[in-house]
Amino acid sequence: MDQSIGYLGPGVMGRAIVKGLLGAGTQVTVFAHRADLDLEDLCRSGALVTTSVTTLAEKNRMIMLTLPSSREVERAILGPPGLLDRLREGSVVIDLSTSLPTSTEMLAARLREQRIDMLDAPMAGGPRQAAAGELTLVVGGEKGVYERCLPILRAIAKNVFFVGGTGHGHTVKLINNFWLMTECCQHTPRA
CB 167 within 8 A of CB 52: no
Cα–Cα distance, 45 to 190 (Å, whole number): 47
pLDDT surpassing 60 at residue 122: yes
CB 75 within 8 A of CB 82: yes
Instruction: Give the whole-number percent of the chain exceeding pLDDT 90.
Output: 77
CATH of domain 4-186: 3.40.50.720
- The confidence score (pLDDT) of residue 36 equals 83
CB 118 within 8 A of CB 141: yes
C-alpha 35, offset from chain centre: 19
- The confidence score (pLDDT) of residue 68 equals 93
In 30-100, alpha helices (H) = 40-44, 53-59, 70-78
User: What's the pLDDT tens digit per position in 11-48?
Assistant: 999 999 999 999 889 999 999 988 888 899 999 999 99
120 has which bridge partners?
95, 140
Which of 19, 59, 143, 173 is an active site residue? 173
The amino acid occupying position 143 is K
Give the start-to-end residue ranges of the domains of the chain: 4-186
User: pTM for this structure?
Assistant: 0.90
CB 151 within 8 A of CB 176: no
- The confidence score (pLDDT) of residue 1 equals 43
- The confidence score (pLDDT) of residue 31 equals 94
Is residue 173 part of the annotated active site? The answer reads yes
From 60, 49, 54, select the one nearest 91 (Cα to Cα). 60
From 111, 99, 98, 172, select the one nearest 145 (Cα to Cα). 111
Q: Is 185 exposed, middle or buried (0-12, 13-18, 19+ CB in 10 A)?
A: exposed
User: What's the pLDDT tens digit per position in 59-94?
Assistant: 999 999 999 999 999 999 999 999 999 999 999 999
Other CB atoms within 10 Å distance of the CB of residue 1: 13
CB 42 within 8 A of CB 66: no
Cα–Cα distance, 161 to 26 (Å, whole number): 22
Instruction: Please give the DSSP secondary-structure letter assigned to residue 134.
Output: -
Cα–Cα distance, 179 to 164 (Å, whole number): 20
